[in-house]
């Protein structure tokens, strides 16, 4: 056998025996060079081993290396450096993590999972944090899910949050009866409505989100603390911009300033909570940790701060009675309860015009109200299958059809339709090609998707959704690839106006004759533009606004089909 010139040998048992030997030495306090103090317990260990597992301890040991027994802490072995761990780290939680550091194995009884999670979170042992989170989700029950949702650092694991929130929403009627839920701080809200019909059409989730928006404005714009909001109830009304506003801000003499509102204004004068005052220190969502006689503080990861700052959400909501609701929300990352009561605001001075509220009770409920008496109502529309932008939208057989788009990760092929009668979305056949920044148009039940972008390049391809079999099929290509073009139907033809070619807004315009499966160029725009509003009106094409790549455009152009000519239209007031 020919010699290789060197010896190569791998001991497969070395890794396991090495860890086992280290663990044995730790248990016998051999060659230990650090002592962790938690509660009244000393845990001897080796700094190198702990630093390999915990980035937090790595940073601490590196900063304070070589310092012996600084500060008030002292170990039984005065020759070893000591680090006291405070906050919510318990001795049992830390002992499990130290054992994990030496063995790579974790066996924790259910009742200790929370302690291990908190210790791992503070020490930044993310692998253990994720595994504990997974186990906590698998063991969720109504009685403990509020405690689980309140765990510090939970915002960093969005999947964990979503799974816990989904469980709470699904079982909210049970969760809302638990002690953990009832012990949360509660914000009392009353919302005034002008008619009983408005009150009967309120959707609890939509109302809950409006209340969260109002609280967020109070805390961010008015510097109101959560503790101030808890001092009294708040009476709100729905403004014209579909936002909730405080009745205390209603000008005197308004028709809606009833005795109810006036009593509330007097209450606000006695117990004001919406005046400007310095932000109070919030109860920390994450425990503080003091290590080695110096303040390490909270985990100050930027991701943590951003996640907490952005966490204003409705977790669950349910209807208690006809006009009473309860909700679980997060206010700047902290869990809280909302108690929402709907109130009918009857004007002190009756209006000379009959409204549905003051009509005689002898009027049948089935009798249609006069159109002039119908209140303006806002109803929540069902959400799409996912968030997206740059999509094509058109009306098809009484439904809203949505094609393609972009979801921040990729361009989409998906198609879905919205039915107003059932307030629901239904998935339709996917397009043959992913298209973002696309526009669509409809001719006699056939949908045409023109151009767009696949995420890297502009497209010249065109496809249509056949009315016969509802499948997407290819058509002849555009003369020029583009996205964000204006697309509309006129006189049985599809017009593609302007668009973006990857460099600038373009002037080129084309028309598709479906029966010939062929594109023809028409007169170009006077001003190149993309993202313009395009529609057919009065037998002509109207192109409104848009962008030229650097500026928003306020001009309007009108296309005369017979003359094949674009003429200026009345400019927009605002580009």
CATH number at residue 504: 2.120.10.80
Q: Which helix (H) or strand (E) holds 158?
A: helix 158-170
Structure tokens of 424?
């629901």
User: What per-residue confidence (pLDDT) applies to 543?
Assistant: 97
* 341 and 437 inside one domain: no
Q: Contact 547/553 with Cβ under 8 angstroms?
A: yes
Residue 556 placed within a domain: yes
Q: Do 217 and 324 lie in a common domain?
A: yes
What pLDDT score does 309 carry? 45
Q: Are 473 and 412 found together in one domain?
A: yes
The three-point CA angle 98-101-106 to 5° equals 85
Sheet of 82-84, strand order: 41-45, 34-38, 82-84
3-state secondary structure of 316: strand
Residue 459 and residue 319 in one domain: no
Using CA atoms, how far apart are residues 336 and 330, in angstroms rounded to an integer?
Answer: 6
With respect to residue 444, please indicate whether it lies within any of the assigned structural domains: yes
Three-class SS state of 266: helix
Using 50 as the pLDDT threshold, list the residues of the chain that sit under it. 65-72, 74, 274, 276-309, 351-373
Judge if 408 and 527 occupy the same domain.
yes
Query: What would the two tokens of residue 417 be?
Result: 């339709």
Could you tell me the CA-to-CA distances from 381 to 28, 394, 402, 421 in Å, in that order? Answer: 66, 17, 15, 11
Q: What is the 3-state secondary structure (H, E, C) of 79-143?
A: CCCEEECCCCCCHHHHHHHHHHHHHCCCCCCHHHHHHHHHHHHHCCCHHHHHHHHHHHHHCCCCC
Q: Is the dihedral of CA 535, 541, 545, 550 positive or negative?
A: positive
Residue 1, domain member (yes or no): no
The three-class DSSP label of residue 528 is coil
Q: pLDDT for 148-159, tens place per residue? A: 998 877 777 788
Same domain? For 423 and 329 the reply is no
User: How remote is the C-alpha of 276 from its chain's centroid?
Assistant: 29
Give the tokens for residue 451.
Answer: 């151009």
pLDDT for position 273 = 60
**345 is written with which tokens?**
């605001």
Distance CA 359, CA 11 (A): 91
Q: What is the pLDDT of residue 371?
A: 45
- Beta-bridge mates of residue 457: none
Q: How many Cα atoms sit within 13 Å of 39 on the Cβ side? A: 9
Q: Which of the 8 DSSP states describes residue 248?
A: G
Whether 125 and 212 share a structural domain: no
- pLDDT (0 to 100) of residue 372: 46
Residue 136's CB is within 10 A of a number of other CB atoms, namely 23
What pLDDT score was predicted for residue 468? 87
Q: Is 440:446 a contact under the CB 8 Å cutoff?
A: no
- CATH number, domain of 112, equals 3.30.710.10
How far, CA to CA in Å, does 301 sit from each of 162, 283, 304? 21, 18, 5
Range of the domain at 238: 184-248+259-265+312-345
- Written as six digits, the tokens of 380 are 């929540």
pLDDT for position 503? 84
Residues 213 and 101 in one domain: no
Q: What pLDDT does residue 529 have? A: 95
Name every residue whose Cβ is closer than 8 Å to that of residue 562 and which is 6 or more positions away in sequence: none
pLDDT of residue 76: 54
- pLDDT given at position 370: 47
Number of domains the chain contains? 3
For residues 408 and 329, membership in a common domain is answered with no
Query: Residue 302: inside a domain, yes or no?
Result: no
Which pLDDT score, from 0 to 100, does residue 270 have?
77
Note whether residue 151 is domain-resident.
Answer: no
**Residues 433 and 547 reside in one and the same domain:** yes
Decide if 505 is inside a domain: yes
The answer to whether 132 touches 113, Cβ cutoff 8 Å, is: yes
Q: Token pair of 4, please?
A: 């290789």
CA dist., res. 573 & res. 343, Å (int) = 41
12: enclosing H helix or E strand? none
């Amino acid at each position: 056998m020919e010699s290789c010139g060197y010896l190569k040998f791998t001991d497969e048992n070395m890794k396991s025996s090495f860890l086992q030997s280290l663990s044995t030495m730790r248990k016998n306090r051999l060659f230990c060079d650090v002592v962790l103090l938690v509660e009244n317990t000393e845990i001897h260990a080796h700094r190198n081993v702990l630093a390999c597992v915990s980035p937090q301890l790595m940073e601490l040991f590196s900063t304070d290396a070589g310092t012996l027994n600084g500060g008030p802490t002292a170990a039984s072995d005065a020759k070893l450096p000591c680090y006291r761990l405070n906050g919510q780290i318990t001795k049992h939680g830390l002992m499990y993590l130290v054992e994990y550091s030496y063995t790579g194995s974790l066996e924790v009884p259910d009742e200790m999972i929370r302690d291990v999670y908190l210790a791992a979170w503070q020490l930044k042992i993310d692998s253990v944090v994720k595994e504990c989170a997974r186990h906590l989700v698998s063991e969720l029950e109504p009685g403990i899910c509020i405690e689980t949702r309140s765990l510090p650092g939970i915002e960093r694991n969005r999947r964990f949050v979503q799974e816990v929130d989904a469980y709470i929403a699904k079982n909210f009627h049970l969760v809302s009866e638990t002690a953990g839920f009832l012990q949360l701080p509660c914000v009392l809200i009353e919302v005034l409505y002008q008619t009983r019909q408005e009150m009967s059409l309120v959707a609890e989730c939509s109302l809950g989100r409006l209340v969260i928006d109002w609280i967020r404005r109070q805390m961010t714009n008015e510097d109101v603390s959560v503790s101030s909001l808890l001092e009294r109830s708040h009476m709100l009304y729905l403004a014209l911009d579909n936002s909730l506003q405080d009745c205390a801000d209603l000008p005197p003499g308004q028709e809606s300033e009833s005795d109810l509102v006036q009593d509330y204004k007097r209450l606000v004068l006695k117990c004001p909570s919406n005046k400007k005052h310095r932000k109070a220190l919030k109860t920390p969502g994450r425990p503080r940790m003091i290590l080695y006689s110096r303040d390490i503080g909270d985990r100050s990861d930027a991701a943590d701060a951003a996640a907490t700052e952005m966490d204003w959400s409705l977790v669950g909501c349910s209807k208690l009675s006809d006009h009473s609701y309860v909700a679980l929300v997060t206010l700047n990352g902290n869990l809280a309860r909302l108690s929402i009561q709907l109130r009918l605001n009857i004007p002190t001075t009756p209006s000379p015009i009959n409204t549905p509220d003051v009509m005689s009770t002898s009027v049948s409920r089935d009798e249609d109200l006069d159109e002039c008496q119908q209140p303006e109502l806002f109803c929540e529309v069902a959400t799409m299958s996912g968030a997206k932008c740059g999509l094509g939208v058109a009306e098809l057989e009484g439904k809203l059809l949505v094609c393609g788009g972009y979801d921040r990760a990729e361009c989409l092929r998906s198609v879905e339709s919205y039915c107003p009668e059932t307030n629901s979305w239904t998935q339709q056949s996917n397009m043959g090609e992913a298209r973002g920044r696309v526009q669509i148009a409809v001719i006699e039940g056939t949908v045409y998707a023109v151009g767009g972008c696949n995420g890297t390049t502009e497209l010249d391809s065109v496809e249509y959704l056949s009315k016969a079999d509802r499948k997407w099929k290819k058509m002849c290509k555009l003369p020029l690839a583009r996205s964000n073009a204006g697309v509309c139907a006129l006189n049985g033809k599809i017009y593609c106006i302007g668009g973006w070619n990857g460099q600038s807004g373009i002037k080129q315009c084309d028309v598709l004759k479906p029966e010939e499966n062929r594109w023809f160029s028409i007169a170009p725009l006077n001003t190149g533009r993309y993202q313009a509003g395009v529609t057919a009106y009065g037998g002509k094409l109207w192109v409104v606004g848009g962008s030229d790549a650097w500026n928003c455009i306020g001009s309007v152009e009108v296309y005369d089909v017979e003359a094949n000519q674009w003429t200026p239209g009345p400019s927009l007031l605002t580009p």
